[in-house]
Amino acid sequence: MDQQRRLLLFGFSAFLTLFVWATLGPKLFPGMFPQPRDVAVVDGGNDAAADGTSTDDEGATAAGVADSGEGSGKVGDAVEPPEVPPTSEKQDPTADGNKPEIPVVNLPAFPTQTVMLGSMDLSSGYALQIQLTSVGASVQSATLTDPRYPVAGDVGDVTPRPQLRVVGNNLLSDESIRPLTKSRGKLTVDLDVVSIDKLLAELDVRASLRTVNWELLETEKDANDSRVLSGATFRIVSPDGSLEVRKIFQLQRVPADRLAEADIRQIFAPAYQLDVAIQLRNIGKKTVVAEYLLQGPVGLPLEDVENARKFRDVKVGFLNDSGSVSAELMTSSALVKDAKKGTVEEWTRPVRYAGVDVQFFAALILPTGDQLARQTFSTVTPTVITTDEKNTERSDISLELKSAEFEIPADGLVQHEFQMFLGPKSQDLLFPYKADSIIDYGWFGSISHVMVYLLKTFHGWGVHYGIAIVMLTVLVRGMMFPVSRKQAASSKKMKDLQPQLTALREKHKDDKQKLAQAQMELYREANFNPFAGCLPVFLQLPIFISLYQALNNWVDLRMASFMWVENLAAPDALFEMPFSLPFLGSDFNLLPMITIVLFYAQQKMFMPPPTTDEMAMQQKMMNFMMIFMGFLFYRVPAGLCVYFIASSAWGMSERKLLEFLPEKAVDEEKLRRKKEKRGDGFFGKFVQQMQAAAEMQEQIKKNQREGNGNDSQAKSGSPKRRK
């Protein structure tokens, strides 16, 4: 017990001694307690300023924002560095003024600000509104202004729908962007300069160029509307005052004289372009060797994730020596898998573009200048932003672009420029950047391009996209009418031959080889090709695949409504069921059910009744395939179901119409010549091969019977002669 008391008394005495020393020590012995570094952390509201900027200093703009009235400076104009960098000051750490001053370097103390470039007003000519933040001087979000690109899916009771963000969807809210918060989400065009980040980390372990506030140096107003900003410049100086870094942003727009053109935002690519320049100025007296790491696009939107077939992919276009571009991609699932193994590949070839795309939108970085002569970026590395462990294909991914090392002489300046495309994946918009290859139409891409062209043409006549798909169906089926007519004639002939086929089956019911030979001979005599009925199916297969790819990639069909369908590029989702079914989900899709019912009716209408057990089994298999196709079609885009419904309705009407058309008179001489010619064709050769195989099989059986007879006679032997 005494030992425990002594232990408690010792602990209490030690705590009391430390408390007294920490409280009175700095006052009694100031020399033994050095002053802590002054770390300025600015945190406050984001009240909007009159010029499109916001700050946390009760609405006042940051010190250093140029007055952008008549004498507004242009973005990118050189600004002479101050004699003493704004991030450093001289303090006397002691009370003795006779001692020499010791420089104490502080973190940048600029306010948190946001800057809005562009306008949501369509008459302003801007297709984008870019939100910049002083924290890291990065792109916080990029919002499309065109009303054709709202947020898809269920948005509740919000009316009208909010506009879609191309990047920045990884942020929960604007409040997550705070200085000196390493847990904040990564932002597009975040920058890392190793030498500066090292100095910042010595001041505060949380500090880096990504997490501190940059100085908003100046903004540029739109030439046509002084209320709208079109550019901004941010600056930061390294803590040792040797290197100055600037980020210069300039947003493009549709020229005022072209705003009256119809659908100008669908063909004018620069309207979706943000120009970015990175300047590094050596304000020291020695040559500096530098390099930087640039964060690619972050937070692209995922839409209709339950039914989508494509998610986020890293897309890179490499420049070949001939100037052509070869594309490379990496899916989010593959990237997450490689990242866990530590085997993520670094690309070192010259790039024309590098970025991330989703189903209908893309965010690309395009370096300017001759990249074959001198690369701006030495390596491009795909990166994982956030991992969805359950559905890795839905993980947020991006890429990092590392610059090649470069020297900056004393008083020298190095500037790297690149463009950013932030917009819909449209052939007209991506072609000027040689990036149209990111639109993947699959194997039958040329047919998909033709279909897209036809749909655009029909829509240009003032026709709704749903009706345009029906018109495309009529056009396709009309071009296939000669084939359909032959198929109808073939089906009728097959029906006429049924009695003879039944007789042959009865005659050769014990010899399948002879039955097949007799059937082929009957088909040949009747000038009937049993494979002709499969031709329309094979012709429609490329059309089906091409239309499916077009609907999955063509952005114009996104959010195009038709009857009760809100989005032709997604399932019709008539209503949401109170429960969820495996593989089907909780949405009730009506169009796939109508499609399968019409398929079944078409099959029953034109398929002859079974005459054998084999035919009955085949029809049962066809019915089972209809159910299986119902599962496959249940979550396809509504536009594809519209095509098949129109195609089935056309096919049934066409077949009924052909039954009333008079049959063509048979030219016996022409038929005879055709039979002679067909004898050398595929079907004739097939019949000949079947006959030869049957004859060979018959000969083998005959030889076996004769051999068995001889063996029996040899075994029985002849009577022996008596001597």
List, for residues 620-658, the tens digit of each pLDDT value: 777 777 777 777 778 888 888 898 899 888 888 877 777
Q: Which tokens belong to 207? A: 């500090």
Which residue, 386, 415, 438, sits at the end of a domain?
438
* pLDDT, tens digit (0-9, with 9 covering 90-100), for 483-542: 777 776 667 677 777 777 777 777 777 777 777 777 777 777 766 666 666 666 677 778
Same domain, 214 and 131: yes
For the whole model, what pTM was predicted?
A: 0.75
| Residue 635 included in any domain | yes
pLDDT at 55 over 70: no
Same domain, 424 and 453: no
Same domain, 562 and 598: yes
Give 337's pLDDT tier (boundaries 50, 70, 90): very high
If you average pLDDT over residues 181-208, what whole number do you get?
A: 88
Report the distance separating Cα 95 and Cα 88, nearest Å: 20
Range of the domain at 281: 47-66+100-300+310-438
Same domain, 540 and 394: no
Q: Where are the alpha helices (DSSP H) in 607-681?
A: 613-633, 638-660, 668-678
| Residue 719 included in any domain | no
Main-chain phi, psi angles of 314, to 5 degrees: -80, 125
Same domain, 495 and 394: no
* pLDDT, tens digit (0-9, with 9 covering 90-100), for 57-76: 433 333 333 333 333 333 33
Helix (H, G, I), strand (E, B) or coil at 109: coil
Answer with the residue of higher pLDDT: 125 or 608.
Answer: 125
Same domain, 597 and 500: yes
- Identify the pLDDT of residue 693: 64
If you average pLDDT over residues 151-170, what whole number do you get?
A: 85
Pairing of strands 53-55, 88-91: unpaired
Same domain, 415 and 472: no
| Residue 348 included in any domain | yes
Which residue, 438, 469, 490, sits at the end of a domain?
438
Q: Which tokens belong to 78? A: 């050189």
3-state secondary structure 316-344: EEEECCCCCEEEEEEEHHHHHHHHHHCCC
Main-chain phi, psi angles of 236, to 5 degrees: -150, 145
| Residue 360 included in any domain | yes
Report the distance separating Cα 329 and Cα 590, nearest Å: 35
pLDDT, mean over the chain: 77
| Residue 525 included in any domain | yes
Report the distance separating Cα 54 and Cα 61, nearest Å: 7
Same domain, 59 and 179: yes
- Identify the pLDDT of residue 419: 96
Query: Which of 19-28, 344-353, 590-599, 667-676 shows the highest mean pLDDT?
Result: 344-353
Give 332's pLDDT tier (boundaries 50, 70, 90): very high
580: amino acid identity, one letter: S
- Domain count for the chain, please give it: 2
Same domain, 119 and 236: yes
Q: Which tokens belong to 65? A: 């924002």
Which residue, 368, 403, 438, sits at the end of a domain?
438
Distance (Å) of CA 103 to CA 187, 202, 501: 34, 15, 105
Same domain, 531 and 564: yes
Same domain, 177 and 296: yes
Same domain, 454 and 414: no
- Identify the pLDDT of residue 355: 96
| Residue 699 included in any domain | no
pLDDT at 224 over 50: yes
Q: Could you tell me which residues come within 8 angstroms of residue 633 by beta carbon, excluding any fewer than 6 positions away?
A: 592, 595, 596, 640, 641, 644
Distance (Å) of CA 392 to CA 184, 386, 503: 22, 10, 61
| Residue 3 included in any domain | no
Query: Which of 66-70, 95-99, 698-702 shows the highest mean pLDDT?
Result: 698-702
pLDDT at 104 over 90: no
Q: Could you tell me which residues come within 8 angstroms of residue 596 by beta carbon, excluding any fewer than 6 positions away?
A: 626, 627, 629, 630, 633
Report the distance separating Cα 361 and Cα 300, nearest Å: 8
Helix (H, G, I), strand (E, B) or coil at 133: strand
Report the distance separating Cα 451 and Cα 469, nearest Å: 9
CATH code, domain carrying 164: 2.70.98.90
| Residue 206 included in any domain | yes
Answer with the residue of higher pLDDT: 326 or 11.
Answer: 326
Q: Which tokens belong to 378? A: 């030495």
Provide the percentage of residues in the chain whose pLDDT is more than 70: 71
